């Protein structure tokens, strides 16, 4: 079945991992996260390194290591997590990627742009703390 909004696997991993990590009192490694969110430990490791690079997570090597939250969950929005992985959401442009449109009116009536703005507004309003 088709879906209007479709998160990439990387975005899904990033958001779900941040929620799981925020709920824990100790660092979680990629294997533990893989068991909790049912995704590949290798893909989890790659995605979470982006969140470490952004300063949202900290990582520690070793037997007691893993990933831990590095920000106040009240201060980070779901949009910040999403854009750390996917980059910013575009609000404009033709969804069909046409440089020249043969129509006088947008066939989609700018629906994709409106939905993108609504999505960003929603995700900016949702804090990590809301899901802990």
pTM of the model: 0.85
Q: Is residue 2 part of a domain?
A: no
Instruction: Give domain status of residue 3, yes or no.
Output: no
Query: What is the tally of structural domains in the chain?
Result: 1
Q: Report how far residue 41's alpha carbon sits from residue 48's, in angstroms, rounded to the nearest whole number.
A: 10
Which residues, including other chains, have CB under 8 Å from residue 11's CB and lie 6 or more apart? 82, 85, 86
Predicted confidence at residue 55, as pLDDT, reads 97
Contact in structure between 80 and 56 (CB atoms under 8 Å):
yes
pLDDT means over runs of 10, the chain (132 residues): 79 97 95 96 96 96 91 97 92 62 69 86 96 95
Q: What is the DSSP letter of 96?
A: T
**1 lies in a domain?**
no
In a domain, 4, yes or no: no
CATH of the domain at 29: 1.10.10.10
Structural domain span for residue 110? 9-131
Question: Which residues, 6+ apart, have CB-to-CB distance to 28 below 8 Å?
Answer: 20, 21, 36, 66, 67, 68
């Amino acid at each position: 079945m088709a879906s209007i909004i479709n998160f990439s696997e990387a975005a899904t991993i990033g958001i779900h991992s941040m929620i799981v990590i925020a709920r824990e009192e100790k660092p979680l490694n990629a294997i533990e996260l893989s068991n909790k969110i049912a995704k590949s430990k290798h893909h989890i490791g790659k995605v979470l390194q982006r969140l470490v690079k952004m300063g949202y997570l900290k990582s520690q090597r070793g037997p007691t290591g893993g990933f831990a939250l590095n920000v106040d969950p009240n201060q980070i929005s779901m949009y910040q997590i999403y854009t750390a992985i996917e980059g910013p959401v575009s609000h404009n442009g033709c969804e069909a990627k046409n440089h020249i449109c043969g129509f006088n009116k947008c066939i989609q009536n700018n629906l994709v742009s409106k939905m993108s703005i609504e999505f960003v507004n929603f995700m900016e309003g949702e804090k990590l703390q809301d899901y802990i």
